[in-house]
Structure 1
Amino acid sequence: MFKDAQTGLDYFCPNDNYYSKILKSDPPATATTAVKGRKKSKKTVAMYSECKDEMGFGYMLACHSIIRELQLDEILSASFGCLSQDIIAVSAFLASGAPGGLSNIDHFTQNNFCFTSKIITSESLSQLYKDISQSMCNDFFRSWIRKCCQNDYICYDVTSVSSYSDNLPFVEWGYNRDKERMPQFNIGMFCTVKSKVPVYYSPYNGSINDYSNLPYVINKARGVGLEPDADKKVTLVMDGGFAIPDVILKASEMGFKLLIGAPQDFGVKIKEHLSEWVTNGFLEDSILRRNDEAIRYKEKEITIGRLRTRLMMFKSPLSGLDQEKSLNSIINQMEIELQDKNKIIKGKHKYAPFFHITTNENNAFTYTFDKHEYAKTLALCGCFALLCTNTELSCEEALDLYRSKDCVEKAFAVLKNDILDERIRTKSIESTNGKMFLAFIGLIIRRTLEDKLRRYLNKNRISLDSAINRLSYIRCIKEDEKWVLSNCLTKVQRELVDILGLPVGGLGH
């Protein structure tokens, strides 16, 4: 980028310097790189960006800057070869929310500097899905995991994606997290906790339980490099849905350290341990401060099968107030229902353990409120527990680490709502696998872009989609052999460019 001294206009010339800094690949042919006094490239393949007199480059520049920073360009190029630029272009389109749907991919590549060899149409996109093979993806994951997972913790969770296809073998009816009456497939995903970057995903049959398939997903992840070494084991952070003794033992046997939420109905009597702790008082407990509350905690050693692990118990006053309010609301609703009934024929169990119901031969009934059970439950409000096999983590570190696992839940929300539009419409296994990989790369781009802009977006109450639109509207028009900005940058555009560190000011030098 440089300013013409006579006209005062800003010029954009994506020259060799641009490609070495941003794309780290050979520049495309002729017109996009030609400036006065420089010979044109001898390459015969003309990039798409030559075909239009006005092009958007702000958003794609941001995407390429992120990809370069994460070294995604090198890894994609090494794994996919000539497909890498098409993958980047489509993934950037998905990261933007795919405005107009994927059928609009030709419009996107036609109006933005995507640096592809041709316009990507719906037909060529379908072919790209099929060209992305599993062996290529596995090569990518090996390099990506090696790059991202050093000195970081890994969290894991599962979501479901609804599908319109009735001929995909892994699409079946199961527990649908979106409450849709549709068949689905499940996706298990690993994310780094500190950098909050997705590192690996594994789709599987929609009817399989999450915890049952965890050892198989872990085994696949180990096959592409997510494997503990002899010196430092990888710590997996998971919620209480995976707190199954057999699953914990299997994951531990595979060499992973674990930090898992421990629900009170877990098979090693978590509720009894918490009740004993609360009943005996908190005099010897430790306290840690988090924001506006003081959280008490205590640690004890327990055994799960052959595995010795640490049970970390916590009591949060703020969570306790919310849970106490919810508990009283439920009990009040139960009592109102009982007062309105004349007879109870079935369903007495739903009022336990707080109400004891006695019926006679006519199904008329009386009930009593169990104050002792109410007091025990009330005392446990705000209590929760974690199971930890990593002996190097303190209770304070474990709590912070566990609370950070929501990064994978947020990644799922972005994947389903912003990228996939909640459902998959592909009809073959190859197309589904290819689209999921492109969505995965798009997820990395969007999550990284959001993380970089989060403070600015919150402060100025601007959505990420709005920021992407403003970046997309940084456009150039062609003037002779140069590209000149079609408009002066707005205040918001300048601020976005500065935050992202986009090299707009020196591209032409």
Structure 2
Amino acid sequence: MADSESASPKRRVQVINGVPRVYEDHPYWDSEKKQCRHRRTYIGRLDEHGAFVPNKSYLAGQALAAVDAVKSADRRFYGAGYLLDHIGKVTGVEADIARSFPSIKDQIISLAYFLVQEGESAVYRFPRWMLSHWHRLTHALGSQGISRLFGSIGEEAKLDFFRRQAKRRLEREYLAYDTTSISSYSELIKQVKYGYNKDGERLPQINLAMVFGETSGLPVYYRLLPGNISDVGTLENMIADAAFLEFAKVKLVWDMGFFSAKNVNALYHAHYKFIGALRPDTTLARSSVEAVRDRLVHYANYLEDDDVYCISTMTAWDYVWNTRGGREERGKRRLYVHVYYNEQRAAAERFQFNHGLRELKTAVQNGKATDAQMERAQRLLTFKSTPVRGTKVEYNDEAIKQYTRDFGYFVLLSNEMKEGDKALECYRNKDLVEKTFNNLKNRLDFKRTLVSSVENLEGKLFVEFVALIYIAYIHKVMKSRNLYRNYSIQSLLDELDVIERFDYQGQRTRYGEITERQRKIYEAFGIRAPDGKPSKTRALETADDEA
């Protein structure tokens, strides 16, 4: 039997379950039955206004036709991709991806470009983006292809990429460390556990730990964690990972949630430098504050640039470590303790405390206090019962005085930095980590994980991580060159994205119109526009230099 197409397909509409479905009618000649027959290919639907809405298969087919067809001319949006090409070279991402993932390097880079340029757009829109934007792929990559790509990103190749990236900048900067939670309702992912996120919500989630360079402003490494693990339990695993990944001369900065004697001992054992905050309720924090309380708030201890008072002292840490062979190591290790007091912080903490205390008293008086509130009330309130007036609730002034006496104080530890101002500056730079997580979850479509397998989750997370390196670099340049006065990250990329690239067979590549604003953006990143011409300001500066 030989079937042959006898005419070009026509679009028709069929209503299925109340939805007008669009299909292509392919007539063909059935040589066996000696008659004309029809084959249907559904390509989308009509919306409420009668406009055609293509489905994923149709979009993928269109992308394939656009990429694979031999064309005499090609026209694509190119300006933002040109900037990302430059960033990939400067950061080494392009070279490291090529070495770690030689067979799928173009897919990873192209998908990362899409995630950077399209902000919160979901990955399923990638085939549509391919039709209009310049990219490196020579074939279409639809939804199924993207899933296969995520599943093919192996652990060994990822670790190789982390090693290569770390060697480029690890020895020159402190590394900030933090965790975040990502909600997921997939029952097929073992790491999904019920836990509390940073907003206090109890949700099924996974945790993500990330290491971030403070000077470069770029993420270095991440680790996927079960959703119910606490911050303090993650640091020791990160230390072990750093040794496995051959990170040399590690310098780490962490938030107070990661402090424990075990973690500090682990850092000393690994010979890592560190700066970390103490939880205010720890014995070491309280004793450190008490030791300097009477002499801290004097102008001689005032750090004007930071608006804090500071006293730094050197002490000895009681180091204890049990080796794998069961041998116990003990000794004294040098430790710098920096105690700070900030008057604005004290006022803010007192205001928040007073507001909460009033609400607590009201809840107790009205009989609406929860068990947790009643437990707190036992410490901060007094209860006096009389036969006539019943129970009278009053403030426990002495308990409140003890509770609030450390407001405004905070303590940092370091085994390297002995100057309080430098330690505080390094610690405050860890805010970059929190901004990184905001970028990851809010900008890169990662507020909720939508994949259903561990392999796809790991693969998607890695591509998001690669995209995050580009975004972090853009953020760093925009901040240092004051570009945030006129642009957000998205508006800057949109400003460049309209620049078109024209490729004609047998002719030199040509670019669309490039404005003065666009040229200045490129020059802020250290490159010229795609056509190689400088901005007018830059051209005048060059002429003056030559003169």
The equivalent residue for 1:467 is 492
The equivalent residue for 2:32 is none
The equivalent residue for 1:382 is 408
Match runs of 1:84-163 below 5 Å: 84-98=105-119, 100-163=121-184
Q: Any conservation in 2 of the 1:157–1:190 contact (CA below 8 Å)? A: yes
Q: Give the Cα–Cα distance (whole angstroms) in 2 for the partners of residues 345 and 59 of structure 1.
A: 55
Q: Letter of the aligned partner of 1:192 in structure 2?
A: G
- Asked if 1:71 is matched to 2:92, the reply is yes
Q: How many residues align?
A: 454
Q: Any conservation in 2 of the 1:296–1:316 contact (CA below 8 Å)? A: no
- Asked if 1:296 is matched to 2:321, the reply is no
Q: Letter of the aligned partner of 2:456 in structure 1?
A: S
Deviations 1:201-220 (A, max 9, x none): 11021122222232123212
The equivalent residue for 1:31 is none
Q: Letter of the aligned partner of 1:89 in structure 2?
A: S
- Asked if 1:443 is matched to 2:457, the reply is no
Q: Give the Cα–Cα distance (whole angstroms) in 2 for the partners of residues 47 and 365 of structure 1.
A: 80
Task: Measure how far apart 1:505 and its partner are.
Answer: 5.5
Q: Any conservation in 1 of the 2:209–2:224 contact (CA below 8 Å)? A: yes
The equivalent residue for 2:301 is 286
Task: Measure how far apart 1:484 and its partner are.
Answer: 3.5
TM-score (norm 2): 0.75
Q: Give the Cα–Cα distance (whole angstroms) in 1 for the partners of residues 287 and 154 of structure 2.
A: 51
Task: Measure how far apart 1:485 and its partner are.
Answer: 3.4
Q: Any conservation in 2 of the 1:145–1:225 contact (CA below 8 Å)? A: no
The equivalent residue for 2:38 is none
Match runs of 1:59-458 below 5 Å: 59-98=80-119, 100-177=121-198, 182-228=203-249, 234-266=250-282, 268-279=283-294, 282=297, 286-290=301-305, 293-299=307-313, 301=315, 303-304=317-318, 306=320, 308=333, 309-337=335-363, 348-359=374-385, 364-390=390-416, 392-454=417-479, 455-458=481-484
Q: Letter of the aligned partner of 1:411 in structure 2?
A: T
Q: Give the Cα–Cα distance (whole angstroms) in 1 for the partners of residues 314 and 340 of structure 2.
A: 12
Q: Any conservation in 2 of the 1:302–1:311 contact (CA below 8 Å)? A: no
Q: Letter of the aligned partner of 1:186 in structure 2?
A: N
Q: Letter of the aligned partner of 1:458 in structure 2?
A: Y
The equivalent residue for 1:32 is none
Deviations 1:163-195 (A, max 9, x none): 231111111212233555542111111111111
Q: 1:367–1:163: structure 2 CA closer, same or farther, 3 Å change rule?
A: closer
Q: 1:463–1:280: structure 2 CA closer, same or farther, 3 Å change rule?
A: closer
Q: 1:505–1:140: structure 2 CA closer, same or farther, 3 Å change rule?
A: closer
Q: 1:49–1:281: structure 2 CA closer, same or farther, 3 Å change rule?
A: farther
Q: Any conservation in 2 of the 1:245–1:304 contact (CA below 8 Å)? A: no
Q: Any conservation in 2 of the 1:348–1:357 contact (CA below 8 Å)? A: no
Q: Any conservation in 2 of the 1:48–1:113 contact (CA below 8 Å)? A: no
TM-score (norm 1): 0.81
Q: 1:342–1:195: structure 2 CA closer, same or farther, 3 Å change rule?
A: closer
Q: Any conservation in 2 of the 1:129–1:430 contact (CA below 8 Å)? A: yes
Q: Letter of the aligned partner of 1:129 in structure 2?
A: F
SS in 1 for 2:182: strand
The equivalent residue for 1:58 is 79
Task: Measure how far apart 1:500 and its partner are.
Answer: 2.2
Q: 1:299–1:353: structure 2 CA closer, same or farther, 3 Å change rule?
A: farther
Q: Give the Cα–Cα distance (whole angstroms) in 2 for the partners of residues 185 and 240 of structure 1.
A: 21
Q: Letter of the aligned partner of 2:382 in structure 1?
A: H
- Asked if 1:476 is matched to 2:501, the reply is yes
Q: Give the Cα–Cα distance (whole angstroms) in 2 for the partners of residues 147 and 225 of structure 1.
A: 13
Q: Give the Cα–Cα distance (whole angstroms) in 1 for the partners of residues 531 and 117 of structure 2.
A: 26
Q: Give the Cα–Cα distance (whole angstroms) in 1 for the partners of residues 516 and 375 of structure 2.
A: 63
Task: Measure how far apart 1:476 and its partner are.
Answer: 2.9
Q: Any conservation in 1 of the 2:297–2:341 contact (CA below 8 Å)? A: no
Larger radius of gyration: 2
250-259 vs 156-165, which moves further: 250-259
Which structure has greater strand proportion? 2
Q: Letter of the aligned partner of 1:213 in structure 2?
A: T
Q: Any conservation in 1 of the 2:511–2:530 contact (CA below 8 Å)? A: no
Task: Measure how far apart 1:92 and its partner are.
Answer: 1.3
Q: Any conservation in 1 of the 2:212–2:218 contact (CA below 8 Å)? A: yes
Q: Give the Cα–Cα distance (whole angstroms) in 2 for the partners of residues 432 and 254 of structure 1.
A: 31
Deviations 1:28-83 (A, max 9, x none): xxxxxxxxxxxxxxxxxx97797673201101101110001112221111111131
Q: Give the Cα–Cα distance (whole angstroms) in 1 for the partners of residues 369 and 524 of structure 2.
A: 67
Q: 1:147–1:478: structure 2 CA closer, same or farther, 3 Å change rule?
A: closer
Q: Which runs of 5+ in 2 are unaligned?
A: 1-65, 321-331, 534-547
Q: Any conservation in 2 of the 1:344–1:359 contact (CA below 8 Å)? A: no
Q: 1:343–1:246: structure 2 CA closer, same or farther, 3 Å change rule?
A: closer
Q: Give the Cα–Cα distance (whole angstroms) in 1 for the partners of residues 285 and 383 of structure 2.
A: 28
Relative contact order, CA 8 A, sep 6+: which one is greater? 1
Task: Measure how far apart 1:423 and its partner are.
Answer: 1.3
Q: 1:102–1:250: structure 2 CA closer, same or farther, 3 Å change rule?
A: same
Q: Give the Cα–Cα distance (whole angstroms) in 1 for the partners of residues 532 and 369 of structure 2.
A: 81
Q: Any conservation in 2 of the 1:47–1:115 contact (CA below 8 Å)? A: no
Q: Which runs of 5+ in 1 are unaligned?
A: 1-45, 229-233
Q: Give the Cα–Cα distance (whole angstroms) in 2 for the partners of residues 358 and 73 of structure 1.
A: 71
359-368 vs 337-346, which moves further: 337-346
Q: 1:425–1:362: structure 2 CA closer, same or farther, 3 Å change rule?
A: farther
Q: 1:49–1:381: structure 2 CA closer, same or farther, 3 Å change rule?
A: farther
Q: Any conservation in 2 of the 1:278–1:380 contact (CA below 8 Å)? A: no
